[in-house]
Every structure is written in C-alpha cells, then in structure tokens.
Amino acid sequence: MPKICLDPGHAGGNIDPGSINSETGLQESTVNLAIASLVKEYLIAVGYQVLMTRTREEQVETDSLKYRCELANNWGADLVVSLHCNSATSEQANGTEIYTTLGETDGDRLATYIINQVTASFSDLELRADWDDGDPDKEENFYILRYTDAPAVLLEMAFISNPEEAAKLADSAWQRDMARAVARGISDYFV
Ligand SMILES: [Zn+2]
C-alpha cells in the first residue's frame, strides 16, 4: 500500500507554536498535530502506511525543515501532506487554501483531490484559489514542498487568526471532519 508522509506544521510549544489566536491562545502546532493524527487513523484503517514528521506536542528536532524532508525522503514516501493553519493581521481573513511547488506536477493533482474533498465537506469554508493555471492550488516553493522527492502539498486548513474559524479549528468534531476530508482526498489520488 502507498506510503503517506503527514507533516504537522511547526515544532510545537515553546520551540515554535506557529500562529496563535490572540484571544484564546490556541496554538497552530497543536491543531496541526491533532488533525494529522486523525488523518493517520483514517489512512491506517484503510491499509495505508503512514509516517508523521512530528509525533509529539513539542519536538525540538522537527524545528528543522531539512530534518522533516530527509525523514520523508529516506522513508521513500509516495506522497507528502503538510498541514497548517493560516494567519493574517486582519481578523476578517478567512477560508482554506492549498499550495504546491511552481509548475505542473503530480502535487497539483493531489492538491485538487484534497481541496475538492475539503470544500465538499465544509460548505461554510471559503475556497481561496488561484485558477490562473486551471486548477485551484496556489504555487510557492515552500521548503517542505521543494525538498521532498514525492508529490507534496501544503494545506492551510483555515485561519486561526479569525475568531469563528479558530473556534472550528479547536473543535474535535470539526477536526475529525477535516481529517476525514484530507484522508479521502489522499485516497482519491490512488483511484
Ligand atoms: Zn504554519
């Protein structure tokens, strides 16, 4: 069965919590790990092999993106899926978006499958898309996308800086729905 590398963004806790909601103190690294762990459950249940680049709340070696990429590459991952929460100065900023590297790769196909499942599961989650090249992903040479050998995507699930979306990101039922959508998108890639 395919080997899926899940990458919960940021090292966690005092090392690098990622973005933080200024009202509730909710940390991005906590949400990323919780949802990635649920994606892992779903994928294992249908027979996939899964490797997490971070498995604990605060894990110092994961502060290195080079470490994470080498982990995925040495394992021989077939896909890499990085999970993050978005943040903006304006509390109004909202929605979901997914990134691949520049140009057309299998990562674009994976991104489309995942974002289709996410938008199908959450009608209230606005899609922030870049349709310039005919598909919904945005393109940036983020390190985790650029230096992993396998097709890779980075999903910014929702805005932790937006009060309503932060409440959803903290909600265990919402986390489970998001994880299920991501897992379904990954499965769609192999159909
Ligand atoms: Zn992040």
In the chain the domains, ranked by start, together with CATH numbers, are: 3-189 (3.40.630.40)
pLDDT number for residue 161: 98
Instruction: Determine the distance from the C-alpha atom of residue 86 to the mean position of all C-alpha atoms in its chain, rounded to a whole number.
Output: 10
Interaxial angle between packed helices 106-121 and 172-189, expressed in degrees from 0 to 180 and rounded to the nearest 10? 140
Ligand 1 center from residue 86 Cα (angstroms): 6
pLDDT number for residue 120: 98
Ligand 1 center from residue 168 Cα (angstroms): 17
Measured distance CA(48)–CA(190) in Å, rounded: 11
pLDDT number for residue 42: 98
pLDDT number for residue 182: 98
pLDDT number for residue 157: 98
Ligand 1 center from residue 76 Cα (angstroms): 24
Residues of the chain with pLDDT under 50: none
pLDDT number for residue 129: 95
pLDDT number for residue 34: 98
Ligand 1 center from residue 177 Cα (angstroms): 20
pLDDT number for residue 45: 97
pLDDT number for residue 123: 95
pLDDT number for residue 17: 98
Ligand 1 center from residue 27 Cα (angstroms): 10
Ligand 1 center from residue 158 Cα (angstroms): 11
What count of other Cβ atoms lies within 10 Å of the Cβ of residue 90? 9
What count of other Cβ atoms lies within 10 Å of the Cβ of residue 61? 12
pLDDT number for residue 143: 98
Measured distance CA(129)–CA(160) in Å, rounded: 18
